[in-house]
Structure 1
Amino acid sequence: MKLALVLPLALAAFVGVAHAEDSDKVRETTNAEADAFNARLYGATPGDKAYACFVRRYDAEHLARHPKQKVASMKLLISAEADKEDKRLHNSFRLGFRYRHRSGDFDSSGSCGSHAVLLSQGDEVRMGCGVDCEGGGIEVALSKDNKSAIVRLEQVRVWQNNKPDDEAEQSLVAGADDKIFRLDRTDTSECAGLVTDRKELAALRHK
């Protein structure tokens, strides 16, 4: 199968946003391009561990302009860890948000794999992140000044109040105003609430 077809299918497996007619406008990143994206994402070339936190709390004025938006606030934590066996950097994500008209905290998490270059978007690099067992996922890009993460989704499996069971399991589905989120880079302590492992929480707070 040609690479031009493989990459859109790979992205579709993550977030379901690729289209057949765009197959000639997407290509896989080179190792150098992926490394450059990771350096922009984490603010420097990642070592054995690295974190990046992005947050957005939508104010009343924004929500008034987007009456169909379901999300009131969102946090994104991207983590990198070097694997001692394959010597490669592995990225993962944790997403937390609150709905506009529903109570409770919702979260999702998974691994981030492929990077792709969208030729039709000025060679924009996006990283695909997915939830296990066909749970959908997100695409993550960066603003030109690296101060914001651009999150795109079609559907992603989420859990309420960090309860990974069938009863709590739901999905955040993109609506008219819930397909693209621009989150601002901030101190990693803002994303501490997304971490449940004590050792990782300690490492995050020392970044």
Structure 2
Amino acid sequence: MKRTPPPVVLAIAASAAIAFLAGNGPGLAQEGIDKTKAAAFDNQLFAGPLGQKAYACFVRRYDANHLAQHPKQKVSAMKLLVTAENPPEEKITNYSFRIGVKYRHRPGNFDSSGYCSHVAEDKGNAIRFGCGVDCEGGGIGVAMKDDKSAVIRLARIRIWERNKADDDASKDLVAGADDRVFRVDRAELRECAELVTDRKELAALRRKGPLQGN
């Protein structure tokens, strides 16, 4: 199956993996989600209230000291771009993500993308995003550590070597002892520009302020 990265503005039916991770699918809150808490989560993640379209960029490059202390960690760098859009003709907000990965022992750039929805944490009813990749490609959970950092959790996510869209270029990143939880730090939007494949979307992102995503 050829990989077609989903455009940010398109909402499609979620696969079983997406349904497990993201509640009821793209743009839909899990049943019972507190709307006030969901709005507060959005405000924190996107560093302000949502407009018609908002972005948030998070980046982490692991230094030699960190990697020496985590010898089983496969990932040497990670980028996360989250987008929220409120189409005028729709009554729900569509959320999507793109993630970029570099490995410590494998050359090249790898990425993946999909949709997100609000889900509630088991403890304290805290809100996070559950994000899934289509065609049973797994996914990630995204929670906010504080205003400046997010926490990515994963069990398995399918990623592709950048600019190679076929299945031969895909490989799952599977959680291991040191590849299960990643802290990523808020960064200027230009840091995530490489994750954007649509030219209009890239131009829109570059017009935004350095940190404010709206």
Name the TM-score, length of structure 2 as normaliser: 0.82
Count of residues in Structure 1 that have an aligned counterpart in Structure 2? 186
Match of 2:109 in 1: 105
Listed as ranges, the gaps of 5+ residues in structure 1 are 1-8, 16-25
Shift of the 169–41 alpha-carbon distance from structure 1 to 2, 3 Å rule, reads: same
One-letter amino acid of the counterpart of residue 43, structure 1: A
On the 8 A contact 1:13/1:136 being kept in 2, the answer is: no
- Name the % identity: 58
Matched, 1:80 2:84: yes
Give the Cα–Cα distance (whole angstroms) in 2 for the partners of residues 81 and 36 of structure 1.
Answer: 16
Instruction: Show CA shifts across 1:49-91 (max 9, x none).
Output: 1000000000000001100000000000001111222222111
Residue 13 of structure 1 deviates from its aligned partner by: 2.2
One-letter amino acid of the counterpart of residue 134, structure 1: E
Give the Cα–Cα distance (whole angstroms) in 1 for the partners of residues 17 and 164 of structure 2.
Answer: 29
Name the TM-score, length of structure 1 as normaliser: 0.84
Residue 31 of structure 1 deviates from its aligned partner by: 1.6
Going by fraction, where is helix more abundant, 1 or 2?
1
Moved more, 146-155 or 28-37: 28-37
Give the Cα–Cα distance (whole angstroms) in 1 for the partners of residues 163 and 140 of structure 2.
Answer: 19
Match of 1:183 in 2: 184
| Counterpart secondary structure, 2:68 | helix
How do residues 130-145 of structure 1 correspond to structure 2 at under 5 angstroms?
130-143=132-145, 145=146
Shift of the 28–173 alpha-carbon distance from structure 1 to 2, 3 Å rule, reads: farther
Match of 1:127 in 2: 129
Residue 12 of structure 1 deviates from its aligned partner by: 7.3
Higher RCO (C-alpha 8 Å, min separation 6): 2
Give the Cα–Cα distance (whole angstroms) in 1 for the partners of residues 88 and 192 of structure 2.
Answer: 26
Match of 1:151 in 2: 152
Give the Cα–Cα distance (whole angstroms) in 2 for the partners of residues 119 and 157 of structure 1.
Answer: 25
Determine which of 54, 75, 100 is the counterpart of 1:50. 54
Instruction: Show CA shifts across 1:97-132 (max 9, x none).
Output: 10010000000000112x222242x44321100000
Residue 173 of structure 1 deviates from its aligned partner by: 0.5
Listed as ranges, the gaps of 5+ residues in structure 2 are 1-15, 23-29, 209-214
